[in-house]
Chain A
Amino acid sequence: MIYQIKKDGTTLKIDDNVFFDKQPKEFRQLYDNARMVEIKDADGNVTGSTQTNNAEFDNCYIEVYENGRVIITLKQEENGTV
């Protein structure tokens, strides 16, 4: 299944039947940046960051399983494929 995904002005066509390490570099970088979550202390100061496996893009959520499988879930209002 090929999805059109959007993130910060970038639009890419991504096939979810392709494993993560074979995906375009641009997509992998977008995902790696989006999966970073800031850790804050009690006063709201950023003290560090941690990685999650679920990244929010503009029109979808992307989860990468440990086996490299890419799961794309389009946000409800924009659900549809290209």
Chain B
Amino acid sequence: MAQFNFKNRYFSASGADLLRTMNYVYFFSPLSDYDSGDGSRLAPYRSNWYYAPRGTTGLQATSALIFSGGVHKGSFNLGSTVSTYRHFTGNGMGVTILSLSIDQQAPISGGNNSTAYYRDVTINDLNHYISGYNGINHYIYFYNCEFLTTPAITTTALSTVYSYVTRSKIKELLSGGTITYQNNNSFIGINTTIGSIAGNLHTFERCNLIVNQASLDSYKNNYYAFDNCNFRIGTETEYTPLIGTTAEVLRETFVNRCIAAGLTVPADITDYGITLPLGRWIFTTNQIFEGITWYGSEINLFEIPRFISFGYSTIRGTKIPIVVGNNTPASIFPNSQSSVGLIYGTDSLSIASNIDITQRHKLFAESKIIWLGGKKKLTKLDIPNNLPALYGVLIDSLPNLVDKEANNIVEAGEMYMVRSLNENAASIIYNGNTYSSELSTRNNIFKGVAGVNSYTFASGSPAVYKINDILNYQSIQLRIVNKIPPDIITSGTLWRDNWYLVEHDSDQNNTTDYITYNGVNYKAGDSFLVEDVFTFTKSGNIHLRRCWDKNFNFDWYDEGSEEYSFWVNEQKPEWCDVLPEDTRCLMKNNHPLSAEMMRGEDGKYITTGHPEYYNRILGTSGVQSPDDIFIGGTYMQIRLLITTVNPM
């Protein structure tokens, strides 16, 4: 089995390729063991440790610390007596969660600075303490970070910490020291006064905002997008939403409320020939979700003629809605392919109250067929969620722990985790050392060494599991194809367990014609899974296309059969594991124009969630594969697997 490898590229807050530009790079994982970690790609230091990870005291002063996915919850002692330039970089916001306590003992003489750069991480209960010589300045830069809680950044009484925040998603405002918000941040659910946050091109989503005369006079020139916000304007005493739905009406409402509340609205602003009151601000409802602006939304249409982009991300996304009903095209809805234990709401999936997250569960939700409107490349999938990763609940299609217990067989080079079969602590002895299930000491992971193939029980009822993915990659599943069988179906019997797509004969935007299947009307672009009913009726100029069997397996089809002939040289609708933040793949024969993706040793398509992917593009075997091919196709389905009891 291939080992998971760290990614091929990690960037600094200023965009430098860390692996190429830094002399010292150290890798960290919460699932590596304390003893054998040396900070390298394949033997990272362990970060979930309540003491300094071995070797971190004395990490080079100018260095990059790369954090794998997962919750990193240790105490780091980064001692140094000279100027320090340290990069703390993760796999992405929502994936790498830093709950570290960092003690940066630096520097001890005047004239030296300490600088820290955070990028691509979620910050949750982060403590960063900088001790050292009084009176010197410390600089911390955050780029593309998500702030769930304010990081506690402290230093000695006579020093100052300067924090700079750029292109980040902020759910709690920073505090302490001197904080500068630079351009393009996304604020979600905060309370503030317009103007008290520096910078331009921010989005404010579900925020409570105070508007005073200075907000209007001094900040009218900055670009802001307000989505679903409540305002307390001038003499008003409560935060209330603007009444209306379109941006035009909401702007008018805002201006009228300002006037009614005793404020003077500045003269209209002309920007690229468009004249509007407060013409650099836009007020909308439901057009931004977790900082991502929808493609084609009023905000997006406001951006285009002004050559700007709001918020932390330049991606303009298309929403795959989560719905309760079953006739919303390209949605995730509760069908027979979803597991029990998930509760569907409007754009929300939650875990039912009868599911105990301290027990092993795999819950999944599947989308309908998503027609991408032609052959498209996927550049990013964003799955905003607030699942309690700290308690081991993640969206992850790959099990981090091999389900089966190790049964006293230890393979050299593999990592193992000790857990208890009951509520009490349990321990085992391996290679002369004792490992306990307790999270309070976190001495619960060991690495197999050559010649020592078994462990002995020491106390309690231990269970030992092999760790499958020490990098804690959090993947979703998707299947994507370029073509579906060409037959246009207007009558006849439907095939059991097959997905069918509804197409209009001439106009895919038509909303009057429909197919009726099992009592539900489906319009163009919608799709359904055939189970116990095999007939349908049509109304208008509409037809069906058969897509694929829900359990598609190419081996079922005999050579010469219609199915075999169609799929043999095509990309097949097989599920592959993909990291949402990195949607790349390998193509057959390493040729970018191949019709089909490359298969790994296990027979599965190699996409970023496949353990071979990063090994192959890094050339760990001595032969390198191209790293610039994005997953592409025309028809897609996605599946979210929510798993519990992941290592934490």
Q: Is the CB of A63 within 8 A of B62?
A: no
Contact A73–B199 (Cβ < 8 Å): yes
Q: Which residues of A contact B112 (CB under 8 A)?
A: 43-44
**Per-position 1/0 for A1-39, Cβ under 8 A of B:** 101000000000000010100000000000000000100
- Identify A63's interface contact among B14, B113, B183, CB under 8 A: B183
* Complex interface: chain B residues within 8 A of A41 (CB): 62
Residues of B within 8 A of A43 (CB): 82-83, 112
How far, in angstroms, from A19 to B62 measured CA to CA in the complex? Answer: 38
Cβ–Cβ contact A44 & B183, under 8 A: no
Question: Quick check: is B162 within 8 A (CB to CB) of the other chain?
Answer: no
For the A-B complex with A50-B14, A71-B201, A73-B222 known, give 12 more contacts whose Cβ atoms are closer than 8 Å.
A40-B83, A42-B82, A43-B83, A44-B83, A44-B111, A50-B16, A65-B308, A65-B309, A67-B307, A71-B308, A76-B198, A79-B195
Question: B85 and A65: CB pair below 8 A?
Answer: no
Alpha-carbon gap, A29 to B497, bound state (A): 66
How many Cβ-Cβ contacts under 8 Å join chain A to chain B?
70
CB atoms of A52 and B307 under 8 A apart: no
**What residue of chain A has the Cβ atom nearest to residue B280's Cβ?**
A1
Are A52 and B198 CB-contacts (below 8 A) given A40-B85, A65-B308, A74-B221? no
Closest chain B residue, CB of each to CB of A78 = B218
**Residue ranges of A at the interface with B (Cβ–Cβ < 8 Å):** 1, 3, 17, 19, 37, 40-44, 50, 52, 54, 61, 63, 65, 67-69, 71-76, 79-81
Chain B CB within 10 Å, residue with most, of A63, A72, A80? A63
> Number of residues in B with C-beta < 8 Å to the partner?
34
Q: Quick one: closest A residue to B183, CB to CB?
A: A63
State whether A17 touches B84 (Cβ < 8 A).
no
* Top 6 A-B pairs, shortest CB-CB distance: A79-B218, A42-B61, A69-B307, A73-B200, A44-B83, A42-B62
Smallest Cβ distance from B297 to chain A, in angstroms?
20
B212 to chain A, nearest CB (A): 13
| B347 adjacent to chain A (CB < 8 Å) | no
Q: Jot down 14 A-B pairs with beta carbons below 8 A, ordered by A.
A: A3-B221, A19-B307, A42-B82, A44-B83, A44-B112, A54-B183, A63-B183, A67-B307, A71-B200, A73-B183, A73-B222, A76-B198, A79-B218, A79-B221
Q: Which of B112, B306, B307 has the most CB of A within 10 A?
A: B307
| In the complex, B219 has a CB within 8 A of chain A | yes
A71 and B308 CA atoms in complex are apart in Å by 9
Q: Which residues of B contact A17 (CB under 8 A)?
A: 271-272
With a cutoff of 8 Å between Cβ atoms, the chain A residues found around residue B62 in the complex are: 41-42
Enumerate chain A residues within 8 angstroms of B198, measured Cβ to Cβ: 73, 75-76
The residue on A at minimum CB distance from B63 is A42
Which of A40, A76, A81 touches B221 (beta carbons < 8 Å)? Answer: A81
Q: Which residue of A lies closest to B201 (CB)?
A: A71
* Among candidates B85, B280, B308, residue contacting A42 with C-beta atoms closer than 8 Å: B85
A51 to B217, CA, bound (A): 33
- A interface SS class: loop
Closest chain A CB from B460 CB (angstroms): 47
- Which residues from chain B contact A73 at a C-beta distance below 8 Å? 183, 198-200, 222
**Given A40-B83, A43-B82, A44-B83 in contact, is the A79-B219 Cβ separation under 8 Å?**
yes
Q: How far is the CB of A14 from chain B (nearest CB, A)?
A: 12
CA distance A28 to B60 in the complex (A): 38
Residues on A with C-beta less than 8 A from B253 are none
CA distance A44 to B62 in the complex (A): 11
Which residues of chain B come closer than 8 Å to A44, judged between CB atoms? 82-83, 111-113
Say if the beta carbon of B269 comes within 8 Å of chain A. Answer: yes
Using A42-B60, A43-B83, A61-B182 as known contacts, say yes or no to A1 and B218 having CB atoms under 8 A apart: no
Whole-angstrom distance between the Cβ of B315 and the nearest chain A Cβ? 15
Tell me which of B82, B271, B309 contacts A1 (CB under 8 A): B271
Out of B14, B82, B218, name the residue touching A37 (CB < 8 Å). B14
Q: What's the Cα separation between A6 and B183 when bound, in Å?
A: 20
Using A73-B199, A76-B195, A80-B218 as known contacts, say yes or no to A42 and B84 having CB atoms under 8 A apart: yes
Please, which residues of chain B bring their CB within 8 A of the CB of A72?
221
Across the interface, name the chain A residue whose C-beta is closest to B279.
A1
CA distance A76 to B194 in the complex (A): 12
- Closest approach, in angstroms, between the C-beta of A60 and any C-beta of chain B? 10
Chain A nearest Cβ from B635, distance in angstroms: 33
CB proximity of A57 to chain B, nearest CB, Å: 14
Closest residue of chain A to B269 (Cβ to Cβ) is: A1
Q: How far is the CA of A63 from the CA of B185 in the complex (A)?
A: 14
Q: Which residue of chain A lies nearest to B60 when distances are taken between CB atoms in the complex? A: A42
> By the criterion CB–CB under 8 Å, are B14 and A1 in contact?
no
A73 to B14 Cα, complex, angstroms: 20
Interface residues of B in 457-506 (CB under 8 A from A): none
Give the distance in Å from the alpha carbon of A72 to the alpha carbon of B222 in the complex. 8
Q: Which residue of B lies closest to A54 (CB)?
A: B182
Name B165-202 residues within 8 Å CB distance of A. Answer: 166, 182-183, 195, 198-201
In the bound complex, CA of A5 to CA of B222 (Å): 15
Q: Distance (Å) between the CB of A41 and the closest chain B CB?
A: 6
What 1/0 flags go to B84-113 for Cβ under 8 Å of A?
Answer: 110000000000000000000000000111
Q: Which residues of B contact A37 (CB under 8 A)?
A: 14
Q: Shortest CB–CB separation between residue B279 and chain A, in angstroms?
A: 9
B residues near A63, Cβ cutoff 8 Å: 183, 200
Residues of chain A within 8 A (CB-CB) of B182 are 54, 61
